[in-house]
């Protein structure tokens, strides 16, 4: 059974905050979803490993310079940018 503490821990790992009024419902939902995932516990999986689908290997292309995206266009989607850079609050004092 998944606990509130575990939910809070994975929320931190996921960079999601869980409010006090959400935690009970979320723990219940996650408990149900995880016990559904638990149905694979008893399945035999010896000797089988999954490598990739359809025996795909990386479809590499020739490594040559091609036109890339324009900096101004990229920055146009950011909420805060300055001097060709994305802006965030300072991370070091």
Partner 1 sequence: MSESKIARLHEGLVSKEFSCRELTEKYIEAVNKDNGALNAYVTVTPETALETASIVDDKIARGEEISMLEGIPMTLKDNISTDGIRTTCCSKILEDYTPIYDATVWKILKAQNAVLLGKTNMDEFAMGSSCETSYFGGAKNPHNINHVAGGSSGGVASAVGGNIAVYGLGSDTGGSIRQPASFCGIVGMKPTYGAVSRYGLIAYASSLDQIGPITTSVEDTAVVYDAISQYDTMDSTSQGRKGESVRSTLKNDIKGMKIGIAREYLEGIRDDVRNAVEEAVEVYRSLGAEIVYFDLPSLKYALPVYYIIACAEASSNLGRYDGIRYGYKAQNYRDVNDMVKKTRSTGFGDEVKRRILLGTYVLSSGYYDAYYKKAQNLRGKIVQSFKKAFEVCDVILAPTVPMTAFENGHAVSDPVETYMTDICTVPVNICGLPGISVPCGFDNKGMPIGMQLIGDSFCESKILNAAWQYEKAAGKFKPAGFGVKL
* CB of residue 3 to partner 1, shortest distance in Å: 12
Q: Which of 20, 61, 65, 84 binds partner 1 (CB under 8 A)?
A: 61
- Please count the other Cβ atoms lying within 10 Å of the Cβ belonging to residue 27: 19
Q: Which of 1, 20, 21, 58 binds partner 1 (CB under 8 A)?
A: 58
- What would the two tokens of residue 75 be? 């920055």
Contacts to partner 1 from residues 26-55, by CB under 8 A: 26, 29-30, 32-34, 36-41, 43, 45, 48-54
In terms of phi and psi (left: phi > 0; alpha: psi -120 to 50; beta: otherwise), the region of 73 is alpha
């Amino acid at each position: 059974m998944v606990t509130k503490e575990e939910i809070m821990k994975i929320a931190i790992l996921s960079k999601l905050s869980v409010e006090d009024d959400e935690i009970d419902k979320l723990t219940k939902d996650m408990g149900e979803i995880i016990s559904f995932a638990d149905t694979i516990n008893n399945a035999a999986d010896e000797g089988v490993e999954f490598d990739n689908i359809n025996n795909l290997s990386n479809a590499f292309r020739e490594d040559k310079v091609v036109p890339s995206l324009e900096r101004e266009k990229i920055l146009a989607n950011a909420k805060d940018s300055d001097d060709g850079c994305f802006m965030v609050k300072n991370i070091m004092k």
